[in-house]
Amino acid sequence: MLLLVADIVQLLNEFMWPLVRISAFLLAGPFFSLTGLNLRIRVALILILTWLMFPLIDIPDINPFSFGAVGGIFHEVLVGGLMGLTLQVVIAALVVAGQAIAGSMGLSMANMIDPNLGNVPSLSQFFLIIGTLLFLALGGHLIMLSVLFSSFQLIPIASGAFSANMIVAFLTWSSEIFIGAVVIAFPIMIGLLLVNVMLGLVSRAAPSLNVFAIGFPALIPLGLGMLLLTMAIWFEQVENLWFVGFNTLNDIIGGS
């Protein structure tokens, strides 16, 4: 097989366009963007996925040294990044839920340095681990790749309509950071609120009793116990968040 320099340049040009969108999507999306994944592994995954997808994608003939190519690259980065950030909303909801529960339990000071998200409470770290395991158990990584491949048909390379409706849909979905966090943390926070109310009644009945010395040590085991008792409930809520996230991503890119 004889390859000319022009053929190699043309092949690299065709390979570049899906590479940009896939790179932006995986670097912004959940799981694949974790710092725990070695940089070489992430680069290898991006190259392998691009190599598998680009023969099946309609790639326009664009001069890579023109102004149109610059706009096309910017378009691909926006599309891939927006798709990845759409799923990161679920991760942010888990972090906010962990912070809310940890604050109610008195664990907000016990922070853990997370290399992926920075300084987050230990409960947020726990929720992140559970959320990632559920993401993998539900086949979320496979759904991500399926939606990524579908995006090349729904939003063509360098020419698809990146409309304001996509931004509006993403901003609307981003409110799920707080709504999803409240849904996950609500049962535990209500239970801890009742415990605080009872401690307040005790302090009124026996003013000489040091409620702070009793309340803080009591809130932590009670909160952990409530976390275990309501595990089935918030497992279901996290699973629902992932499914709603995938449906929202499909709606944003124009899928049916």
| Whether the predicted pLDDT of 120 surpasses 70 | no
- For the chain, counts of helices (H) and of strands (E): 9, 2
- Collapsing DSSP to helix, strand or coil, 207 comes out as coil
What amino acid occupies position 93? A
CA–CA gap between residue 175 and residue 93 (Å, rounded) = 9
Q: With bands split at pLDDT 50, 70 and 90, how would you rate the model's confidence at 117?
A: low
Q: Report yes or no: 36 and 115 within 8 Å, Cβ to Cβ.
A: yes
Say if residues 122 and 102 touch (Cβ distance below 8 Å): yes
**Quick one: pLDDT at residue 115?**
55
Cβ atoms of 50 and 18 closer than 8 Å: yes
Each residue's pLDDT tens digit, 224-252: 888 888 888 888 888 899 999 999 988 88
Output the pTM of the full model. Answer: 0.82
**Which pLDDT belongs to residue 160?**
65
Parallel/antiparallel/unpaired status of strands 111-114 and 118-121: antiparallel
Cα 129 from Cα 79, distance rounded (Å): 27
Question: Among 91, 77, 89, which residue's Cα sits nearest to residue 23?
Answer: 77
CA dist 250 and 254 (Å) reads 6
Residue 82 contacts by C-beta under 8 Å, 6 or more apart in sequence? 166, 167, 170, 252
pLDDT tops 70 at residue 113 = no
Helical axes 231-252 vs 211-229, angle rounded to 10°: 60
Beta-carbon count within 10 A of 67 CB: 8
Report residue 53's pLDDT band, with 50, 70 and 90 as the boundaries.
confident
> In the chain, at which residue ranges do the beta strands (DSSP E only) sit?
111-114, 118-121
Q: Which residue has the higher pLDDT, 110 or 232?
A: 232
Q: What pLDDT was estimated at residue 112? A: 55
Residue 207 scores a pLDDT above 80: no
Which of 9-13, 66-70, 228-232 shows the highest mean pLDDT?
Answer: 228-232
Percent of the chain with pLDDT over 90: 2
Q: Quick one: tokens of 146? A: 């399926």
CB-CB contact of 19 with 50 (8 Å): yes
- Helix, strand and coil percent figures for the chain, each rounded to 5: 75, 5, 20
Structure tokens at 175: 């409110």
For all residues of the chain together, what is the average pLDDT? 81
Return the minimum-mean-pLDDT range out of 35-44, 212-221, 247-256.
212-221
Q: Using CA atoms, how far apart are residues 251 and 255, in angstroms rounded to an integer? A: 5
The residue type at 182: V
Compare 5 and 142 and report the one with higher pLDDT: 142
Residue 149 has pLDDT above 80, yes or no: yes
- Largest Cα separation within the chain, whole Å, is 92
